[in-house]
Amino acid sequence: MSSDTIILKASVRSELGKAAKRLRKVGITPANMYERGKESQAISAPFTDITKVYHQAGKHHPVQLEIDGKKHLTMIKDVDVDPTKGSIRHISFHAIKIDEVVTAEVPVRIDGEIPAERASLMVLHTLDTVEIKALPADLPDELIIDGAKLVEVGDKVTVADLQVPSGVIVVTEADYTLAVVEEPKDQIAEADAAAAELAEENAEGAEAEVPAENGELSEETENSNASETKEN
């Protein structure tokens, strides 16, 4: 394995089902390793070690899993996270082969200066990861988008705009939007308020210019005519 190999040392566990809760109380996280054609293997590892490995590998980097001294090349496939504490309750590893193509979820990142943000516009990220296929050795840690493409309101970048290295196939559909430029909500609210105020002013002005209905004179016009009659 290369110098950037991520290693996790684990042990076979006998605590299954509800009994696994006891492991968590003493800082041990239950896990499983799945291998094609074999029964899943119940394992466990220190909570701090598993958390560190997950942050390093995510679901896109191979992990060398050492179970009681025996090495397995794996990838993380499923992670159960406590919704209140944000801690990992269980993690699943799938055994892979170095010469077989695997599917992985890879993070996407906007690189470089984003003109839209410099103009105080809001860049909404709609997709943080994409699904790819590649040999384990070719799996990238992330895929990049050029931030210079995001300039004005309505500008967007899609999966098709990703910089994809050789040996990698993107499975996610090319027209999926990754990020889009929008006007900040406070600016939208101010614009809406200004437009509403202008519309109200225009409506009041138009109402003042409308002649009386059914050919009747307005009170102001009647008073004016009456004054003219007296003077004559």
Most confident range (mean pLDDT) of 124-128, 188-192, 223-227 is 124-128
Measured distance CA(75)–CA(72) in Å, rounded? 10
Model confidence band, residue 21 (pLDDT cutoffs 50, 70, 90): confident
Instruction: Please compute the mean of the pLDDT values over residues 107-123 and round it to a whole number.
Output: 92
**Structure confidence at residue 86 (pLDDT):** 87
Which residues, in sequence order, are bridge partners of residue 163? 144
Kindly give the residue spans of alpha helices, DSSP state H, lying in the chain.
20-25, 47-57, 115-118, 185-209, 219-231
pLDDT score of 43 more than 90: yes
Any idea which residue has 């499983």 for tokens? 32
Residue 224 DSSP symbol: H
This prediction has a pTM of 0.70
Q: Is the CB of residue 157 less than 8 Å from the CB of residue 150? A: yes
Instruction: Please compute the mean of the pLDDT values over residues 123-128 and round it to a whole number.
Output: 92
Q: Is the CB of residue 106 less than 8 Å from the CB of residue 139? A: yes
- Could you give the 3-state DSSP secondary structure of residue 18? helix
Model confidence band, residue 219 (pLDDT cutoffs 50, 70, 90): low
